[in-house]
Structure 1
Amino acid sequence: MGTAGEMPTNRKDEHLSVVLGRRQKQTTKTNGFERIEFIHCALPELNLDHVDISTSFLGKRISAPILVSSMTGGPERAIAINENIARACEALGIPFAVGSQRVAIEDGQDGGLGHGLRTLAPSVPILGNLGAAQFNCGYGPEQALRAVEMIGTDALYIHLNPLQEAVQPEGDRDWSGLFDKIVAVAEALPVPVAVKEVGSGISADLARRFVDAGITIIDVAGSGGTNWAAVEAARMADASEAAIANAFADWGIPTAEAVFEVRAACPDATVIASGGIRSGIDVAKAIRAGADLAGQAAGLVHAANDSPDALIQHFEAAMRQLRIVCFCTGSADLAALRSAKIRDGPQD
């Protein structure tokens, strides 16, 4: 098992500083949702106030198909961010995922990733989070169960970040045999396992392999948002190493493409669209492309660092935008939105 200490915590703190300061090279890759254009309905024959954007996730009713995606891990300043997220999500009735729990597990201290979050958000789904590479570093079902129990989560994300690990000087390079280890963890846990990328996308073929193995929650986390190779480059002192990492700033499967292809390959899976989701209109497009929920992370860091009220204001605006899209496409609810007429993109 990896050893605890300052290195992982300092790295998480550096990551947060880079994202907050937008110091990384900005990707030219889009999320792909600009290709989806809804056909406006000039006579929707609906009452806007009656449009229903609620749905269910992990056995709980949520007010909108929106997930606050994993943002933070080990640093002390992440405690306030996670508490702000928990308070806001409880007030809004939407789920959230915590950042990597590796440091909390190895240090034996929760670092703000404990039952206090469940106390602040008793009614909404919460997802824990561990990196896949850790299961080649001594982790197994025991550590995964600890991640679940330290918060009382409804599911556990296992995140896939091979590009980030490949360019990171201290990255975990051995990814051999991880599929079977992830499946073994999923079979051992009392809550569902969800797999997610961190910004380069999950292909349809890999998603199908996971679904066939019993892991049915797929967060595609495609390109068009935060690129972790570029984030790693921004914290490197060695210019040649930074150049290698920055060469991958536009790497990955665009989020819209990943959603469409994963949905086609896995019709019964729960598909989460994340990666460059910036507005309620993007959420609507993600739903139309085949997602069940849309996740947002980096675009919220400043609001999450500020206060619960800042997050609530952001998501209330996104929910209003989503409801207006439904209204202006003649969609009374999310089921109708999934078949709303569009000019380009996935067609029925």
Structure 2
Amino acid sequence: MIVSSRKDDHIRLASEQQDNPLPRRDYDDISFIHHALDGINRDQVDLSAQVGPWTYPAPLYVNGMTGGTDTAMIINRNLAIAASRTGITMASGSVGIALDYPQTAPSFTVIREENPDGIVFANIGAGRSVDDAKRAIDLLSADGLQLHVNAVQETVMPEGDREFSSWLGLIESIASSIDVPLMVKEVGAGLSAKTILKLRDAGVTIVDVAGKGGTDFGKIENHRRDGGHDDYSYLNGFGGSAVQCLLDARAAGLVGPGADPGFAVLSSGGVRHPLDIMISLALGARAVGVAGTFLKVALNEGADAMTSVLETWSTRVGEMMALVGATSPAAMEYTDILIGGQSRDFADVRGIDRAALARRSQEDR
């Protein structure tokens, strides 16, 4: 099946990108001002994060990756077992292939089979109908729907759908028609504040900015082309990073003190280790998704290793929160941070008071 072959190509090429990571990412532009006496006891830290109607046990979730092939089934089974053991929320890869080719459904339904009581998001692409959204939710008995927007990927994909003008209207229809929360995410090119505001006005209550720096699906699709003059390599890295997107959201009042508590901005895109989660929380993310960094563990090392990784990452985030004196993920909003590099230029252009971010710990809460 051609579609399944494409899905296996995605797994292989995404794994290769993990073998050759970018030398730096915008997370490296952000640093914490260390106050040596601000630390607290680890048992004073509550890792739980409020996202929509749920309380996550940690500000971490397994983001949507794959499905539709035998290899994808192995990955999804191991991820689901680890999510079940740890209570960590998990999103599936795009189930569109299962809606179109029901014989591939077991590579997705394994998630619910192995994680019967956990928080699970089904995932479909923008451009799908309300009926498809409901079928996706039913397929996984999903607690929420994650809808991905991927215009860059579709542009580069040889068989891509380039009819984008209907997406926002379809998203609004889905938001008003389903009985579970809707999360909208990018796939590695970021959501600007302008886009997030449109989504909020359309009835979406959760967004994941999903910025560049991790898996580059435009680059993946370009590898699937014939090369020569038919090349899109100039679009490699197109879009905004998670750091830029969170700064943009702050400038629009979508994150930070005074932001609507009923609207959750999540973050993902190129997260390498628990410190990147801490940086994302400090920039205003309610919780942080990870995909590419977990991919090879789930595929090559199995469910026990994946469980250990989720437990270790949660432990490290808790330890670092104690280090900086944050009693909860929300309290990371009051840590003092410095912004350098190209993120400094972005913050200045978008009207962010960088000096204020460097003295937040002095603010009344």
Answer whether TM exceeds 0.5 for this pair.
yes
- The aligned residue for residue 272 of structure 1 is 266
Question: Secondary structure of 1:112's match?
Answer: helix
Q: Is the alpha carbon distance of 1:58 and 1:154 closer, same or farther for their aligned partners in structure 2, counting shifts above 3 Å?
A: farther
Note if 1:163 corresponds to 2:157: no
Distance in 2 between residues matched to 1:130 and 1:261, nearest whole Å? 26
Per the TM alignment, residue 237 of structure 1 is displaced from its structure 2 partner at its CA by: 2.9
Matched position secondary structure for 1:175: coil
Q: Cα RMSD over matched residues?
A: 2.0
Does residue 151 (structure 1) correspond to residue 175 (structure 2)? The answer is no
Distance 2:193 2:54 in 1: 27
Work out the CA distance in 2 between the residues paired with 1:157 and 1:330.
33
Equivalence map 1:227-306=2 (5 Å): 227-241=216-230, 244-265=231-252, 266=254, 267-268=259-260, 269-305=263-299, 306=301
The answer to whether the aligner puts 1:131 opposite 2:118 as a matched pair is no
The letter for the 2-side match of 1:11 is R
Which of 193, 209, 218 matches 2:207? 218
Identity of aligned residues (%): 31
AA matched with 1:249: N
SS of the aligned residue for 1:158 comes to strand
Partner of 2:35: 41
State the partner residue of 2:337.
Answer: 342
For 1:37, the aligned partner's letter is: S
Question: What are structure 2's unaligned runs of at least 5 residues?
Answer: 340-353, 361-365
Rounded Cα–Cα distance in structure 2 between residues aligned with 1:111 and 1:123: 18
Match of 1:312 in 2: 307
- How far residue 23 of structure 1 moved from its aligned partner, in angstroms, is 8.7
SS of the aligned residue for 2:148 comes to strand
Q: How does 1:184-223 map to 2 (within 5 A)?
A: 184-223=173-212
Aligned counterparts of 1:257 and 1:201: Cα–Cα separation in 2: 8
Native 8 Å contact 2:191 2:245 kept in 1: yes
Aligned twin of 2:95: 101
| CA shift for structure 1 position 181 | 1.2
1:141 aligns to 2:130 (yes or no)? yes
Deviation of residue 28 (structure 1)?
Answer: 6.4
Equivalent residue in structure 1 for 2:46, among 44, 48, 52:
52
| Residue of structure 2 equivalent to 1:182 | 171
How far off its partner does 1:175 sit? 1.1
Whether the 8 Å CA contact 1:68–1:97 is kept in 2: the answer is yes
* Structure 1 position 89, deviation (Å): 0.9
Q: Deviations over 1:265-324 (max 9, x none)?
A: 323221111101111111111011010010110111111113111212222232222122
Q: What SS is found at the alignment partner of 1:210? A: helix
8 Å contact from structure 2 (residues 206, 264) kept in 1: yes
Structure 1 residues without counterparts, runs of 5 or longer: 1-5
Q: Say yes or no: does 1:15 pair with 2:24.
A: no
Q: TM-score, normalised by structure 2?
A: 0.86
Partner of 2:161 in structure 1? 172
Alignment-mate amino acid for residue 150 of structure 1: L
Assess, with a 3 A threshold, how the Cα gap between structure 1 residues 147 and 291 changes in structure 2: closer, same or farther.
Answer: same
- Cα distance between partner residues in 2 of 1:25 and 1:284: 24
Across the two proteins, how many residue pairs are aligned to each other? Answer: 334
CA contact (8 A) 2:186 2:209 kept: yes
Please give the TM-score of this superposition, normalised by the length of structure 1.
0.90
Inter-CA distance 102–163: structure 2 relative to 1 (3 Å threshold): same
Distance 1:24 1:237 in 2: 23
Deviation at residue 165 of structure 1 after TM alignment: 0.8
Which of 329, 332, 339 does residue 327 from structure 2 map onto? 332
Q: 1:55 to 1:10 in 2, by over 3 A?
A: same
Cα distance, 1:17 vs. partner?
1.2
Q: Which of 53, 75, 79 is 1:81 aligned to?
A: 75
